[in-house]
Amino acid sequence: MKLFSCHLRTALFFGVIALASIALWSGMPAKETTIEIRVARQGNSLPDGFYVWHHLDANGIRFKSITPQNNNLLITFASSAQSEAAKEVLNRALPGGYVIDQRDSNNQDALTWLSILRVSKHV
């Protein structure tokens, strides 16, 4: 009887650990991907966010946000597959004179923190 109780406790312990691991893993944010559109030629302006939205929506590509930042247009996606599909669509839709690059979200997070630290140092 005591042996059964020990096995039951061990099984319950590992069951709780497994459930906690699943709960933590499912709560972690998915890795977002971002593409950046920037002007390559002097005299061009950034494309309108609505124009970009229209082309992505017309092709069934879902995105999280479209944000202008530092003379660039950042488009955030939930997955890299959406990001790749968006790059293809936007390369066809936008006239020449634009560069469309994939940004590494981990690298961008680090750059954001560095800029925050740099600003807070000078305050």
Q: Given a cut of 60, is residue 109 above it in pLDDT?
A: no
> What percent of the chain has a predicted confidence (pLDDT) above 70?
74
Look at residue 3 in the predicted model and tell me its pLDDT: 61
Cα(50)–Cα(62) distance, rounded to whole angstroms?
Answer: 14
Topology adopted by domain 33-122: Alpha-Beta Plaits (3.30.70)
**Alpha-helical regions (H) of 1-123:** 2-27, 49-58, 80-93, 105-122
> What percent of the chain has a predicted confidence (pLDDT) above 90?
39
Cα(5)–Cα(47) distance, rounded to whole angstroms?
Answer: 68
Look at residue 105 in the predicted model and tell me its pLDDT: 56
Cα(78)–Cα(55) distance, rounded to whole angstroms?
Answer: 18
Q: What is the mean pLDDT of residues 15-36?
A: 74
- 62: left (phi > 0), else alpha (psi -120 to 50), else beta? beta
Where do the domains of the chain lie? 1-28, 33-122
Q: What is the mean pLDDT of residues 52-60?
A: 95
The whole-chain average pLDDT of the chain stands at: 80
